[in-house]
Structure 1
Amino acid sequence: MPILHVKEISKEWNGNPLFRNLSFELAEGERMALFGRNGAGKTTLLKGLLGAVPFESGMVFRGLPVKEWGLLDQQLEPGEEMTARRLVLEGNAEAAQLKVRLERLGGRLQSGCGAEKALLDDYGEAYEDYLRLDGYGWEAKAEKALRQLNLPQEVWDLPYQSLSGGQKTRAQLSRLLARQPRLLLLDEPTNHLDADTMEWLEEWVSGYSGTVLYISHDRRFIDRTATSVLELRPDGCRRYAGGYTQYRKQKAVEARELEARYRRQELEKKKLEEAIRRYAEWFQQAHRAAAQNDFLRSKSKKNVSRLHAKESALDRLNRERTAEPRESAKLNMQLTGGEFAAGTLLRTEHAEFAYPGGSPLLKDFSLSVRRFDRIGVIGANGSGKSTLLKLLAGICAPTGGTVALHPQTTVGYFAQELEQLDLSSTILDSLLQLPEMTVTEARTILGCFLFTREDAFKLIGSLSLGEKCRVAFLRLYFGRANLLVLDEPTNYLDIDTREVIEEALKSYPGALLLVTHDRYLLSNIANRLVVLERGRFPRQFPGTYEEYLSKDREHTMTEQERAAEDELGLLQLRLTRLIQAETPESDDENMALLEEIKRLRRRIEELEKKG
């Protein structure tokens, strides 16, 4: 039974079409993921379905009253007096209003204001109403939800606006958890959540008894929760069964079928055009030769009838013809690294770090970063991941031990706050500051990063977060760094752009230090992990993120393992260079090179077996 029926809705923004003719149904119990690029109108669609934003045309039939809907809104901006606890309590509006009235009346009674008998009567009446609504039971349920979402109790009564992004998301999820609305609308529910909370959210959404319609750029979350994917396109939408992986497979089949149909129609078009040309020639020849000959005139008329039939067939084909398959514009980026001859780019020895007056975040931390390393830094929010990256990038100085960069190391740093951007500069001017950069070259590069001719003159401070991310990657593109330190580089990017970034990072010739909540990215990139936990000092895990999930998480790298990892990296680098080297001219030198390659391969196999 459809809980929501949408028929041919359209929306414009500042006179430009956002989407047109969207039609779909949402069945009771379904978990549908809205999929589309940044700017496709996903958030606007959610708000329009709630009735908060009007559509230009179309109809929305709601099988449930809006009061039984629940919304997680990343752009929520409540008043200054709103706290996390109060946000959750207001999930039951009537009980929340009575609680405020009880607190106000109780305060007046304590201060002795007004006629005490009347105040007592009002207080008693409000108290009875609160009991009737099970207000205290609702308070207990709200506090239980806050605990389930791991929101620290010390922030429950702080202003909502002062909370971190992750804490705001947890507060809103707590409100929904306590209310259990029959229809959930979730706008980026995975933003800023750590791995443990993400896993809890996946289980909760997967087992939710109601219906869920959500937006997410987290591919693993979509895979594990969605029963269908609704792709938003400028001219409509299309539903695909299953999660993200099934969606991609179905899109690949669709693309192949579209390409095959286009080729068949092109062949048919050429045949019709050739037939029309032949019939036109025959008609002209027959018409000239016919003169007053009745037989030839009759034959000429047959040719012209066939000509008109072929022309009609061509017109019909052109009207129904499949458009030439073209990929939508994608970010085009390849990261290059500067020259580097040594094995190790960065080394920390017994490093320590603490903010002034605070307890140590790092103690006795040793790490070697080699070329081609892909090190993922994982841990709960607040465990110090960003601080560790700043320390390794040289932005913060250690309070003990050493953090040493090789003299040839060039660091490219990407901060999730994007504070390294000059907000007062235009995108084009930020490029023209580079040596020998011309306006033509700058415009070409901006096009590769999905910025239009008009975008070039926008102030960086006026851009969306996704656009600012692309500008930040422009800086990395020209930095020729051989060590990239990336703090949440894909947070505000859509999935298509994330996948381009992922491919660029895979082929990057330098080393990476990466903090990300994108588990798809982490699984595909990282080959080693640094694990941070509150109350414990960092430890290293000698494997991928998938291996970390499947193995003993308590494993810590010993000095011997670290030494073996260092040796393995150097040997692999040495082997790569020997294989790529030019063939020696003399037979003796060539034999020596082959023997060295064999020796390196044997040693690499030994180390990998031990690992």
Structure 2
Amino acid sequence: MISINNLTFEIGSRALYDEANWHIKPGDKVGLIGANGAGKSTLLRLIVGQYMPTSGTISMAKDLKIGYLNQDLLSYHSDKSIVHVAMEAFERQNQLHAEIENLLKKLETDYSDEILNKLSDKQMEFEALDGYNIEFRAHEILAGLGFSEEEQKRPLATFSGGWRMRVMLARILLQAPDILLLDEPTNHMDLPSIKWLENYLQAFEGAIVIVSHDRYFLDRIIKKTVESRKGKLTLYAGNYSFYLEEKAMRNEIQAGQFKNQQAKIKQEERLIERFRAKASKAKMAQSRIKALERMERVDDVDDDNPEVNFSFKFSKPSGRHVVTLENISKSYPNLEILRNTSALIEKGDKIALIGANGKGKSTLLRIVADADTNFEGNAIKGHNVSQTFFAQHQLEALHLENSIIAEMQAFAPKHTETELRSILGCFLFTGDDAFKKIKVLSGGEKSRVALAKALTADANFLVLDEPTNHLDMASVNILIQALQQYEGTFIVVSHDRYFLDNVANKIWFIENKEIKEYPGTYQEYEEWNSKRVIKPEIKEEKKVVKEEPKKEKTAPTEDTKRLLLKKNKELAQLEEQIGTKEVEVKNLETLLASEEVYSDAVKLQETTRNYNSAKAEYDQLQHNWENLAEEIMQLEG
């Protein structure tokens, strides 16, 4: 289908590909993977002819129909409705439709056989090309990609970039190409649309090449994986999970070969040094030197999965209740998002906020983060809560003239340069990368800088809106490790299911204008959600209700004020005691897991007794806190 032979492509003095080879066969479903900057998007552009190879060839059949989705399509502008833009895929059918309309108009005055025959021929071809169903097919695909019936009538120009990209994808899918080249197709898609696209691509009969950082998406679609690395293309005969296992095995073999070869080289070098000292052995020494020079060297294995080796600390732990949402209602003109709904974020919660676009995820996140105050109800921050809010618009807040290290130092002055360099190293900025100017960074690199800043803030509560956008798989893996080590509380919106499954212990979703909670991981939520029947929202009839006169609040007496002051001080003291006791319990849990303790019966018995005592005290403190908080709420009326 497509044959890539000895492909070399140079940018300046750098060879992005160096005699790379790859053959794409009919029906192949391939994931093209590699680090940012490895040339994945460039390779797709080479295949479609937007770039020309420095040397080598890319050959394919002349009549091969390629559907190519890339981020440049965002620049496409049209004032037509999106259903008409999608239907532009049917070039011949649209041409025939226009010709048929023209012939029908002529028939109003000309009944000649010539016109009738032409009309008959055009109608037969139009029917053979399934022309009468093209509008239905366009509506069907747009609906699958998340567009309502009303939205399909709106002009393309009225949609944001992410939604316009979906229209471009619909147009490409409607072309029914022989091969699909998809560059990050799930960017800006919500989870329902991603699942629909997965089902569509699984049934697609042509070949597919996908560039994506969404490993769950890749696992469900692809049958082969091609890694772009160090100028070469390496094929793995399985999906992304298979690639990880197979690569680990290949790396283990390569590491062994490297170790053995290095031992052999050292042995040869010692012999050469010994032979050089003797004139009679000099010829033999020269022979061994030439043999070493001819030896094909085995490379050492590079670590493509760096580990986060620092801890994210904050000066003060929060109280038990981090954010309390009471009777929240939020509406936009002609759109109600939330209606009289309540929820609670507790200390230690790792919440994934999921759902379709337009259901109010970002709105709810802004309410939680105090970025939106135009709503009904109360959003109450708890005791000692310090917050950091990460969203994509914060990439624009980076100071373009700063170097990366200067940007970090300005934001986190309490950290030493060594600490900040260590943090940047974990986010793949090594060596002199730290001195790069912000203005020369790619979107993914800017995201990593902004995330590094967010995670170095002295915050015990993180609010993260789509933090995995523009990140490659290695960077997503770093973020997962960082959040797994983070001891505070966070709420995150993301469409990356692998990421969510590895960081969340609670799931929030919006249903019938209410915040609903599932107490478990994303995978557990998916299993639970697949089995349940969702009740449709009942539209309430408007009723005339006679309102009861509201009781006016009476001002608290001086005695009540003094009592409230005393109780609030006691509550603050209890929260400090709870924090101290929580640290003690965690330390004892660590001790119980250490070999030094569990291998010594006496130490084990003593540590277990101390742990049980500390845990009982901790539980009692929590109970006292709840009772005292209840008293305070009653006094406040």
Which segment is superposed worse, 43-52 or 150-159? 150-159
Q: Corresponding residue for 1:259?
A: 255
Structure-2 change in CA distance of 1:591 and 1:216 (3 Å): closer
Q: Corresponding residue for 1:522?
A: 500
> Structure 1, residues 392-443: CA drift from partner, whole Å, max 9, x if none?
1111126233211124211111113436624654344534534478889877
Q: Corresponding residue for 2:510?
A: 532
Is residue 2:502 matched to residue 1:506?
A: no
Code of the residue aligned with 1:528 in structure 2: it is K
Query: CA–CA distance in 1 between the matches of 2:434 and 2:80?
Result: 37
Q: Which residues of structure 2 form unaligned runs of 5+?
A: 535-576, 592-602, 621-637
Is residue 2:315 matched to residue 1:347?
A: no
Q: CA deviation at 1:321?
A: 1.7
Q: Tell me how many residue pairs correspond in the alignment.
A: 556
Query: CA–CA distance in 2 between the matches of 1:467 and 1:511?
Result: 25
Q: Which residues of structure 1 form unaligned runs of 5+?
A: 285-299, 557-569, 604-611
Query: CA–CA distance in 1 between the matches of 2:55 and 2:376?
Result: 64
Q: Corresponding residue for 2:8?
A: 10
Code of the residue aligned with 1:228 in structure 2: it is K
Do the aligned residues in 2 keep the contact of 1:411 with 1:485 (CA within 8 Å)? yes
Do the aligned residues in 1 keep the contact of 2:342 with 2:515 (CA within 8 Å)? no
1:411 pairs, out of 387, 409, 418, with 387
SS of the aligned residue for 2:37 comes to coil
Code of the residue aligned with 1:412 in structure 2: it is T
SS of the aligned residue for 2:150 comes to helix
SS of the aligned residue for 1:38 comes to coil
Q: Corresponding residue for 2:168?
A: 172
Query: CA–CA distance in 1 between the matches of 2:182 and 2:490?
Result: 33
Do the aligned residues in 2 keep the contact of 1:331 with 1:450 (CA within 8 Å)? no
2:445 pairs, out of 467, 492, 500, with 467
Code of the residue aligned with 1:430 in structure 2: it is E
SS of the aligned residue for 1:418 comes to helix
Query: CA–CA distance in 2 between the matches of 1:471 and 1:202?
Result: 32
Do the aligned residues in 2 keep the contact of 1:345 with 1:483 (CA within 8 Å)? no
Q: Corresponding residue for 1:72?
A: 69
1:205 pairs, out of 201, 204, 226, with 201
> Structure 1, residues 41-68: CA drift from partner, whole Å, max 9, x if none?
21221122112222222101113624x2
Do the aligned residues in 1 keep the contact of 2:461 with 2:490 (CA within 8 Å)? yes
Query: CA–CA distance in 2 between the matches of 1:331 and 1:97?
Result: 57
Q: Corresponding residue for 1:391?
A: 367
Do the aligned residues in 2 keep the contact of 1:7 with 1:24 (CA within 8 Å)? yes
1:484 pairs, out of 458, 462, 470, with 462
Do the aligned residues in 1 keep the contact of 2:89 with 2:171 (CA within 8 Å)? yes
Query: CA–CA distance in 1 between the matches of 2:68 and 2:344?
Result: 46
Query: CA–CA distance in 1 between the matches of 2:30 and 2:370?
Result: 44
SS of the aligned residue for 1:153 comes to coil
> Structure 1, residues 489-519: CA drift from partner, whole Å, max 9, x if none?
0111111111111111111111110111000
Q: Corresponding residue for 1:186?
A: 182
Do the aligned residues in 2 keep the contact of 1:371 with 1:509 (CA within 8 Å)? no
TM-score w.r.t. structure 2 length?
A: 0.77
Do the aligned residues in 1 keep the contact of 2:506 with 2:519 (CA within 8 Å)? yes
Do the aligned residues in 1 keep the contact of 2:317 with 2:460 (CA within 8 Å)? no
Q: Could you tell me the percent identity over the aligned residues?
A: 29
Query: CA–CA distance in 2 between the matches of 1:349 and 1:15?
Result: 57
Query: CA–CA distance in 2 between the matches of 1:456 and 1:310?
Result: 44
Is residue 2:575 matched to residue 1:596?
A: no
Q: Corresponding residue for 2:548?
A: none
SS of the aligned residue for 1:490 comes to coil
Query: CA–CA distance in 1 between the matches of 2:212 and 2:533?
Result: 33
Q: Corresponding residue for 1:313?
A: 291
Please give the root-mean-square deviation of Cα atoms over the aligned residues, in Å: 3.8
Q: Corresponding residue for 1:145?
A: 141
Do the aligned residues in 2 keep the contact of 1:353 with 1:399 (CA within 8 Å)? yes
Q: Corresponding residue for 2:551?
A: none
Do the aligned residues in 2 keep the contact of 1:443 with 1:456 (CA within 8 Å)? no
Structure-2 change in CA distance of 1:99 and 1:331 (3 Å): farther
Query: CA–CA distance in 1 between the matches of 2:120 and 2:434?
Result: 59
Is residue 2:79 matched to residue 1:86?
A: no
Query: CA–CA distance in 1 between the matches of 2:344 and 2:83?
Result: 44
Do the aligned residues in 1 keep the contact of 2:10 with 2:17 (CA within 8 Å)? yes
Code of the residue aligned with 1:264 in structure 2: it is N
Do the aligned residues in 1 keep the contact of 2:401 with 2:438 (CA within 8 Å)? yes
Structure-2 change in CA distance of 1:431 and 1:333 (3 Å): same
Query: CA–CA distance in 2 between the matches of 1:305 and 1:198?
Result: 68
Code of the residue aligned with 1:182 in structure 2: it is D
TM-score w.r.t. structure 1 length?
A: 0.80
Structure-2 change in CA distance of 1:64 and 1:150 (3 Å): farther
Q: Corresponding residue for 2:518?
A: 541
Which segment is superposed worse, 386-395 or 593-602? 593-602
Code of the residue aligned with 1:413 in structure 2: it is F
Query: CA–CA distance in 2 between the matches of 1:413 and 1:103?
Result: 56
Which segment is superposed worse, 370-379 or 594-603? 594-603
Query: CA–CA distance in 1 between the matches of 2:461 and 2:247?
Result: 36
Query: CA–CA distance in 2 between the matches of 1:124 and 1:130?
Result: 10
Q: CA deviation at 1:21?
A: 1.9
Which segment is superposed worse, 504-513 or 203-212? 203-212
Q: Corresponding residue for 1:133?
A: 126
Structure-2 change in CA distance of 1:153 and 1:346 (3 Å): same
Query: CA–CA distance in 2 between the matches of 1:21 and 1:247?
Result: 22
Is residue 2:570 matched to residue 1:577?
A: no
Query: CA–CA distance in 2 between the matches of 1:130 and 1:181?
Result: 24
SS of the aligned residue for 1:394 comes to coil
> Structure 1, residues 165-204: CA drift from partner, whole Å, max 9, x if none?
4433432333244332221111112222222222222222
Query: CA–CA distance in 2 between the matches of 1:143 and 1:124?
Result: 32
Do the aligned residues in 1 keep the contact of 2:319 with 2:385 (CA within 8 Å)? no
Query: CA–CA distance in 2 between the matches of 1:22 and 1:379?
Result: 41
Code of the residue aligned with 1:132 in structure 2: it is E
Q: CA deviation at 1:526?
A: 0.6
Do the aligned residues in 2 keep the contact of 1:6 with 1:61 (CA within 8 Å)? yes
Q: Corresponding residue for 2:437?
A: 458
Q: Corresponding residue for 1:246?
A: 242
Query: CA–CA distance in 2 between the matches of 1:400 and 1:75?
Result: 41
